[in-house]
């Protein structure tokens, strides 16, 4: 057995959607690869960066592929899951981090088409991913589904012009979905959880790889960073005893809003 085979996620295939070229998606993809997983990446707006992440994953001895497109589009999700299955193997880990834009404004100023777009990005994408991957996880008797929610989304107390209500509603729906499905899927060996960060400090893109590998000191940064969020996600993927949970990462100012 070589060292790679001894890693806890060796032989697992992870699928990471939304912003896989930057932020939480990038850090999560790299952290999962560090633990031994092969990774299928999806990104809607940062293809070049996602390709760079794939190269970093390969430098760790893992396999990687990139499928661009909107993760709330059923055709894109079908292609993403299909290519992952064909080229890497059936995804046993799904991290749904794709979400809507942060646009604070009063409710009467939200155009209906933008409201529907936000709901699709926040909710439909998670539904489509779960729908496409859950049957194979049940059959395998093992699966980890983690979505990125939002701190305190169910008790959103900030005014809409500071924290957008479509964002909060979408994140709260994600929390509800994992809590509800977790009750029914535990007997199949499948866990569903959410990580709910508050405001995060973003490390520079070029520093994320070294930070994930423990080669970059985070002591000087306000926490959490996107790497801290990624590490919480990875812990949920490693631990089969936690399911139906929303792990809050409020940061040093829990009364602040998560976007901006």
pLDDT digits (tens, 9 = 90+) for 31-79: 999 999 999 999 988 888 899 999 999 999 999 999 999 999 999 999 9
| Separation CA 100–CA 102 (nearest Å) | 7
Q: Which residues contact 8 (CB under 8 A, 6 or more apart)?
A: 35, 36, 238
Q: Which residues contact 36 (CB under 8 A, 6 or more apart)?
A: 4, 7, 8, 9, 10, 11, 12, 62
User: pLDDT band at residue 21, thresholds of 50, 70 and 90?
Assistant: low
**pLDDT of res. 1:** 54
168-224: pLDDT as tens digits? 999 999 999 999 999 999 999 999 999 999 888 888 888 888 889 988 766 666 678
Which among 151, 167, 216, 221 is annotated as catalytic? Answer: 167
**pLDDT of res. 161:** 81
CATH number of 4-249: 3.40.50.720
Give 27-90 as a 3 state SS string. HHHHHHHHCCCEEEEEECCCHHHHHHHHHHHHHCCCCEEEEECCCCCHHHHHHHHHHHHHHCCC
Residue 241 φ then ψ, to 5°: -95, -10
User: In a 3-state reduction of DSSP, which class is residue 108?
Assistant: helix
Average model confidence (pLDDT) for the chain?
90
| Separation CA 154–CA 176 (nearest Å) | 9
**pLDDT of res. 218:** 66
135-156: pLDDT as tens digits? 999 999 999 999 999 888 888 8
CB 65 within 8 A of CB 87: yes
CB 101 within 8 A of CB 159: no
CB 251 within 8 A of CB 200: yes
pLDDT above 80 (res 118)? yes
User: pLDDT band at residue 5, thresholds of 50, 70 and 90?
Assistant: confident
Neighbours of 117 (CB within 10 A): 17
Where along the chain do its domains lie?
Answer: 4-249
Tokens of 145: 């589904």
**pLDDT of res. 36:** 98
Instruction: Look up the pTM and report it.
Output: 0.91
Give the CA distances from residue 104 to residues 117, 161, 253, in Å, rounded to whole numbers and listed in that order: 15, 5, 19
Long-range contacts for 150-158 (Cβ within 8 Å, ≥24 apart)? 150/196, 150/197, 150/258, 151/196, 151/197, 151/198, 151/248, 151/249, 151/250, 151/251, 151/254, 151/258, 152/196, 152/198, 152/248, 152/250, 152/254, 153/196, 158/257
Mean of the pLDDT values across residues 95-124? 90
**pLDDT of res. 2:** 66
User: In a 3-state reduction of DSSP, which class is residue 246?
Assistant: strand
Q: Is 167 a catalytic residue?
A: yes
């Amino acid at each position: 057995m070589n060292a790679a085979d001894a890693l806890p996620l060796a032989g697992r295939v992870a699928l990471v959607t939304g912003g896989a070229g930057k932020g939480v998606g990038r850090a999560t993809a790299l952290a999962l690869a560090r633990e031994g997983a092969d990774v299928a990446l999806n990104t809607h707006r940062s293809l070049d960066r996602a390709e760079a992440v794939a190269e970093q994953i390969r430098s760790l001895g893992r396999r990687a592929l990139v499928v661009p497109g909107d993760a709330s589009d059923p055709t894109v999700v079908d292609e993403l899951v299909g290519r992952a299955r064909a080229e890497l193997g059936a995804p046993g880990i799904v991290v749904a981090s794709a979400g809507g834009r942060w646009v604070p404004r009063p409710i009467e100023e939200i155009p209906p088409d933008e409201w529907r777009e936000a709901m699709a990005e926040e909710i439909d994408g998670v539904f489509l991913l779960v729908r496409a991957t859950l049957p194979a996880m049940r059959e395998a008797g093992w699966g980890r589904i983690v979505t990125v929610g939002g701190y305190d989304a169910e008790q959103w107390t900030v005014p809409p012009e500071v924290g957008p209500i479509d964002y909060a509603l979408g994140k709260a729906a994600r929390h509800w979905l994992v809590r509800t499905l977790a009750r029914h899927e535990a007997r199949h060996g499948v866990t569903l959880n959410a990580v709910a960060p508050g405001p995060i400090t973003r490390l520079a893109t070029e520093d994320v790889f070294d930070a994930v590998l423990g080669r970059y000191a985070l002591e000087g940064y306000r926490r959490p960073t996107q790497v801290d969020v990624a590490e919480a996600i990875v812990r949920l993927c490693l631990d089969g005893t936690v399911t139906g949970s929303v792990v809050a990462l409020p940061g040093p100012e829990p009364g602040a809003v998560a976007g901006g």
